A and B are shown apart, each in its own frame.
Chain A
Amino acid sequence: MIDFVGSFGRYFLKKLSSLGRSTLMFFHTVFVFPSVKKTFPLLVMQIYFVGVQSIIIIIVSGLFIGMVLGLQGFNILKDFMATGSLGSLVSLSIIRELGPVVTALLFAGRAGSALTAEIGQLKASEQLNAMEMMAVDPLHRIVAPRFWAGMISLPILSILFCLVGIYGGKLVGVDWLGLDEGIYFSSMQSSVELGADLVPMLIKSVSFGFVCTWIALFNGYDCKPTSEGISRATTATVVQSSLGILGMDFVLTALMF
């Protein structure tokens, strides 16, 4: 029994200390303003890796999710003779929930795991150490550009996802099942509001961007520098970010809607 309590305590202390390390790491990364000239090209490269290369998966998933919503929504609303509300059904569910959440989940799988693996690899091959000994802080040079790239890319990807999803719904509802385009968009416009729906969506996706990117970077930076350590860290990234995103989504939804 004492053993059990002891091991629980040790586990708790371990988690606490890793939380502490990640916070320290965060402050060293974010509250530094290195020269723009040197950092900007690095940031551009990272937005390319993190954002641009995720576009395809985001657009394709957005399209399919929108189409499925259109199809399911139409069939259900038909029973109530209320297919006119398809637009608001599709747009609200995508903008309020599916857009930011699914984008963030895909982002965690696509970009987050890659970030963890990359940084873990840099650590395992002593490249981070070498950089440190060359008086270049890896937190500024490696971690910071990736962090900001994630924070910038995820909201943009979410917006793209929402737009593509809504047009996917239109594709099915209007072009295939014959709902009037005006009704689709008018019911959407009368229910979606800039301040009540679009701004909260942006707030959500920025928060998810923070959670995803940070978890990925910290796991990579803090992993055991072996191949097993890297694979564990990559798994941890995907699991922790997914849970983090879903939990945070509930809190944010409760606060904002």
Chain B
Amino acid sequence: MNFESLIEVKDVSFSYLNKQIYKNLSLSIPKGKITAILGPSGTGKTTILRLIGAQLVPDKGEILFDGINVHSLRRKQLYKLRERMSMLFQSGALFADMTVFENVAFPLREHTNLSEDLLADVVLMNLEAVGMRHAANLYPSELSGGMARRAALARSIALDPDLVMYDEPFVGQDPITKGVLVKLISDINKSLGKTSIVVTHDVKEILEIAHYVYILAEGSVLGQGTPEEILNSTDPRVNQFIRGDFDGPYAYKLKGEDNYIEEL
């Protein structure tokens, strides 16, 4: 891998409620590119984002953000570092008691001392970028799922972070909204040059825009490479996941004692 990386995940093991989620996981996320993290449900794809954001602490190993070990930081420094990253949550996680405008203005009010005029300009610019300027005065409860996600996207880029993490951005969206979100993610990366991590299992959409792909399964990296390399992979497990085969190395049946006949 010959690119400059923003994030290095080194040898991370993590378990939650006695369940081993990662075992010696190593990733590196290239700077200024879109990295897709794919994997079947239940492999803890979201967990890796929360580990990078230091909301969770790994049992073993370290995660470097721009050369800084995020888990060795004191609380204050960690919050300073988090100003450089942002995360788009699955639900959008807009603050329910504020309008869309106030939601986008929130990180700016907390971390900058912009005047009210300038603040309004920045917020409306961000909302315009996601096509939501007309919805500035609506409350989150009045938005559809797709609109909420776009508003949350405007909020997460408001502070001009280096890294944007997308947690399952396409889940439960209609094809048109999916298309809009794909385009937005790609635009934000291209025009603003932000490093992006997209966690998803919508293979088709993400392979269109990703520069690099990791496939996670069973707590470690199953396959990695550019989208072409992944599509042309010969690993049967990778192929099964990409094509969505019904049966293959990952058995359709849950493993267990096979006494189906006897049960009948």
Binding site for B on A (CB under 8 A): 28, 38, 125-127, 129-137, 141
Chain B nearest CB, measured from A230 CB (Å):
14
User: Assuming the A-B contacts A125-B96, A127-B95, are A133 and B90 also in contact, with contact meaning beta carbons closer than 8 angstroms in the complex?
Assistant: no
Contact partner, B55, options A129, A134, A136, Cβ 8 Å: A129
Task: Indicate if B83 sits at the interface (CB-CB under 8 A).
Answer: yes
Q: Report the minimum CB–CB distance from A122 to chain B (whole Å).
A: 8
Taking a contact as CB atoms under 8 Å apart, the answer to whether A134 and B107 are in contact is yes
Contact (A134, B96) CB under 8 Å given A126-B89, A126-B91: no
Q: Does B16 contact A (CB under 8 A)?
A: no
Residues of B142-160 at the interface with A, using a CB-CB cut-off of 8 Å, are 152, 155-156, 159
Q: Do A127 and B79 touch across chains, with their CB atoms under 8 A apart? A: no
Q: Are B82 and A132 in contact (CB under 8 A)?
A: yes
* Sample of 8 further A-B pairs with CB below 8 A, known A129-B93, A133-B87, A141-B110: A126-B90, A127-B94, A127-B95, A131-B95, A133-B55, A134-B106, A135-B110, A136-B79
Closest chain A residue to B152, Cβ basis: A130
A127 touches B107 (CB 8 A): no
The answer to whether B110 and A136 have CB atoms under 8 Å apart is: yes
Q: Which of A38, A126, A129, A137 contacts B79 (CB 8 A)?
A: A137
B66-89 CB mask vs A (1 if < 8 Å, else 0) is 000000000100011111011101
Contact mask for chain B residues 92-109; partner A; CB cutoff 8 A; 1 contact, 0 none: 011110000000001100
Measured between beta carbons, the chain B residues less than 8 angstroms from A129 are 50, 55, 87, 89, 93
Give A136 to B95 CA distance when docked, in angstroms. 13
- The complex places the Cα of A133 from the Cα of B89 at a distance, in Å, of 10
Check: B53 CB closer than 8 A to any chain A CB. yes
Q: How many residues of B contact A (CB 8 A)?
A: 27
- Would you call A130 and B82 a contact (CB within 8 A)? no
What are 28 contact pairs spanning A and B, CB under 8 A?
A28-B75, A125-B91, A125-B93, A125-B96, A126-B93, A127-B93, A129-B87, A130-B87, A130-B93, A130-B94, A130-B95, A131-B95, A132-B53, A133-B55, A133-B82, A133-B85, A134-B82, A134-B107, A134-B155, A134-B156, A134-B159, A135-B80, A135-B83, A135-B110, A135-B111, A136-B79, A136-B111, A137-B75
- Contact code string B147-187 (vs A, CB < 8 Å = 1, else 0): 00000100110010000000000000000000000000000
Asked, given contacts A127-B93, A130-B87, whether A136 binds B107 with beta carbons under 8 Å apart, the answer is yes
Q: Which residues of A contact B96 (CB under 8 A)?
A: 125, 127
B139 CB to closest chain A CB (Å) equals 14
Q: In the complex, what residues of A have CB within 8 A of residue B79's CB?
A: 135-137
Closest-CB distance, B82 to chain A (whole angstroms): 4
Assess A133 versus B91: contact at CB under 8 Å? Given A28-B75, A125-B96.
Answer: no
A246 to B251, CA, bound (A): 58
Closest 4 pairs (CB-CB, A-B): A130-B93, A135-B82, A126-B93, A133-B87
Nearest-neighbour CB distance to chain B for A73, whole angstroms, equals: 47
* C-alpha gap A130/B159 in the complex (Å): 14
In the bound assembly, the distance between CA atoms of A48 and B32 in angstroms comes to 46
Q: Which residues of B contact A132 (CB under 8 A)?
A: 53, 55, 82
**Nearest CB of B to A48, in Å:** 13
Q: How far is the CA of A125 from the CA of B89 in the complex (A)?
A: 10
Instruction: List, in ascending order, chain B residues with CB within 8 A of A136's CB.
Output: 79, 106-107, 110-111
* B-chain residues with CB within 8 Å of residue A133 when the two chains form the complex: 53, 55, 82, 85-87
Q: Which residues of A contact B82 (CB under 8 A)?
A: 132-135
**A112 vs B81: C-alpha distance in the bound complex, in angstroms?**
34
Which chain B residues lie closer than 8 Å to A134 at the CB level?
82, 86, 106-107, 110, 155-156, 159
B167 → A minimal CB distance (Å): 9
Q: In the complex, what residues of B have CB within 8 A of residue A28's CB?
A: 75
Of listed A125, A133, A136, residue having the most chain B CB within 10 A:
A133
Measured between beta carbons, the chain A residues less than 8 angstroms from B93 are: 125-127, 129-130
Candidate in A28, A130, A137, A141 with the most chain B CB atoms within 10 angstroms = A130
Least CB separation from A45: chain B residue: B97
Q: Which residue of B lies closest to A134 (CB)?
A: B107
How far, in angstroms, from A27 to B50 measured CA to CA in the complex? Answer: 24
